[in-house]
Amino acid sequence: MKKIWLLFIFVFGFGLCHLHSQAFLDLIHSPNKNTTLQDIQVLAEAYFTNRDKGRGSGYKQYKRWEYKMEREVNADGKLQNFSKLTWDAIEELNTTNPPADRSVAAWTPLGPTNYTNGTNGYNGGLGRVNVIAFHPSNANIIYLGMPAGGVWKTTDGGTTWSPMADILASIGVSGIAVDHTTPNSIYILTGDGDGANTYSIGVMKSTDGGATWGTTGLTWSVSSLNRGYKLLMHPTNSNIMFAATTAGILKTTDGWVTWSMVQAGSFRDIEFKPGTPSTVYATTINSFYRSTNTGTTWAVTGTGLPTGEDRSVLGVSPANSNYVYYLAGPAGSSSYTGMYRS
């Protein structure tokens, strides 16, 4: 009997720790309009109590997030879409005081502009990049999306980079889609899904190669605490796109003038089957979904994948379109669970 009780206590304790982990991470990635920062702090404190807080534990990343959110909550301590507040303020400024009417200050970058790799096996780098996208016909033009720094562009194959538009300076970008028929038309899915630095304000569009940007039919409010993970454009019809978000799989057939949610859930990634775009794959942290009618309907399929992971990423290859790869990271830390293949 004693052994049974000890086993029960161990299993219950392990499960409780896992629940604490999932609870605070779930609230970070998918909060609701009533979620307060204190709600998350209580759960995170319970999870990290008596745990190692060193590298790989996820503690440093959580504290960075906490530090940022402490400065962005509303007067009631509730989380709010600070990216949308910033965007609204910039739009109001541009309306009341157009850029052409302002005096122009001269700024010079002070760096850092390079990073020397260390010798201890750990290199922090100069920043984090969420997404990379390429011009369909000019290999020298590349776009980068940052977690809280807008879109950057190179026209010389990566030798030099420039930020695109001051209005995106504090906007996170998790997806970029370049129109393969009209390359100057670029779409971005805003927000930072992986690191939870910024909430999404929706999908934005540029028609001049990234020089200026405007909102689309998918625009979220200050109270909408959604995050974006992936923006996917149909390989032959650039008006058809999907967005994998915490608000579900969103689909447009007219370049985001209008859109609809075609599958509820908190989705982390989405991919077309190479050569057969009517087949689309998507994943949450718990389930693998497949559609065979270009995203109109979806069904959970497959077995053998882990559940409750912090991160899930899909990979496909035209070299063998029947293979689907799935990268998983564990709940509660920044380490690695495994790579799976179907």
Q: 266 with 185, same domain?
A: yes
Q: Is 49 left (phi over 0), alpha (psi -120 to 50) or beta?
A: beta
φ, ψ for residue 231, nearest 5 deg: -115, 125
Q: What is the mean pLDDT of the chain?
A: 86
User: What are 276-314's pLDDT values in tens digits?
Assistant: 999 999 999 889 999 999 999 999 998 888 877 778 899
The per-residue b/e assignment along 32-48, b for 16 or more CB within 10 angstroms, e otherwise, is eeebbbebbeebbebbb
pLDDT greater at residue 60 or residue 209 = 209
Do 209 and 284 belong together in one domain? yes
Tens digits of residue pLDDT in 252-272:
999 999 999 999 999 999 999
Average pLDDT on 28-44 reads: 89
Residues of the chain with pLDDT > 70, as a percent, come to 87
Q: Which amino acid, residue 196?
A: A
- pLDDT of the residue at 10: 32
Boundary of a domain, candidates 70, 90, 112: 70
Confidence of residue 208 (pLDDT cuts 50, 70, 90): very high
94-145: pLDDT as tens digits: 787 776 656 666 677 777 777 777 666 666 667 789 999 999 999 999 999 9
Strand, helix or coil for residue 90: helix
Q: How far apart are CA 280 and CA 288, in angstroms?
A: 11
Domain-embedded: residue 79: no
Same domain flag for 166 and 308: yes
Region of 294 (left: φ > 0; alpha: ψ -120 to 50; beta: rest) is left
Task: Please identify, among 21, 43, 70, the residue that sits at the C-terminal boundary of a domain.
Answer: 70
User: Which is more confidently placed, 74 or 331?
Assistant: 74
Instruction: Please give the residue that has the higher pLDDT: either 197 or 244.
Output: 244
Which residues neighbour 273 within 8 Å (Cβ) at sequence distance 6 or greater? Answer: 279, 280, 281, 316, 321
Which residue's entry shows tokens 């910033």? 86
> How many domains does one find in the chain?
2
Considering the domain architecture, whether residues 157 and 300 belong to the same structural domain is answered as: yes
Q: Report yes or no on 89 lying in a domain.
A: no
DSSP state of 78: B
Distance between CA atoms of residues 305 and 158, nearest Å? 37
Query: Looking at the structure, do residues 309 and 185 belong to the same domain, yes or no?
Result: yes
Examine the domain organization and report whether 52 and 200 are in the same domain.
no
Q: Is residue 27 part of a domain?
A: yes
Check residues 1 and 63 and name the one with the higher pLDDT: 63
Do 59 and 158 fall within a single domain?
no
Q: Which of 45, 24, 38, 41 is nearest to 78 (CA)?
A: 38
Task: Give the closest residue to 205 by CA, choosing from 224, 235, 223, 231.
Answer: 231
List, for residues 83-92, the tens digit of each pLDDT value. Answer: 898 888 888 8
What gap in Å lies between CA 219 and CA 179, rounded to an integer? Answer: 20
| 116 domain residue, yes or no | no
**Is 197 within a domain?**
yes
Q: Is residue 150 part of a domain?
A: yes
Alpha-carbon distance of 157 to 305, in angstroms, equals 38
Cα–Cα distance between 185 and 243 in angstroms, integer? 17
Give the domain extent around 25.
2-70
Q: What is the pLDDT of residue 1?
A: 47
CB 220, CB 84: distance < 8 Å: yes
- The confidence score (pLDDT) of residue 335 equals 67
Q: Are residues 142 and 286 in the same domain?
A: yes
Domain match, 50 and 157 both? no
Shared-domain flag, residues 198 and 319: yes
Distance from C-alpha of 325 to C-alpha of 330, rounded to nearest angstrom:
17
162 and 299 in a single domain? The answer is yes
Global pTM reads 0.83
- For residue 319, the model assigns a pLDDT of 95
Whether the per-residue pLDDT at 2 is higher than 60: the answer is no
Q: What is the mean pLDDT of residues 58-65?
A: 87
| Predicted pLDDT at 323 | 96
Q: Is the per-residue pLDDT at 32 higher than 70?
A: yes
State mean pLDDT over 175-179: 98
Picking from 70, 96, 121, the residue at the C-terminal end of a domain is 70
Domain membership flag for residue 113 = no
**Res 120: pLDDT:** 67
φ and ψ of 325, to 5 deg: -105, 145
Q: In angstroms, what CA-CA distances link 190 with 141, 200, 276?
A: 21, 5, 28
Structure token digits, residue 77: 């301590």
CATH of the domain at 166: 2.130.10.10
Is the per-residue pLDDT at 324 higher than 90? yes
The answer to whether 258 and 203 have CB atoms below 8 angstroms apart is: no
Does some domain include residue 86? no
Token representation of residue 183: 């390359």
Q: What average pLDDT score do residues 39-47 get?
A: 91
Do 269 and 192 belong together in one domain?
Answer: yes
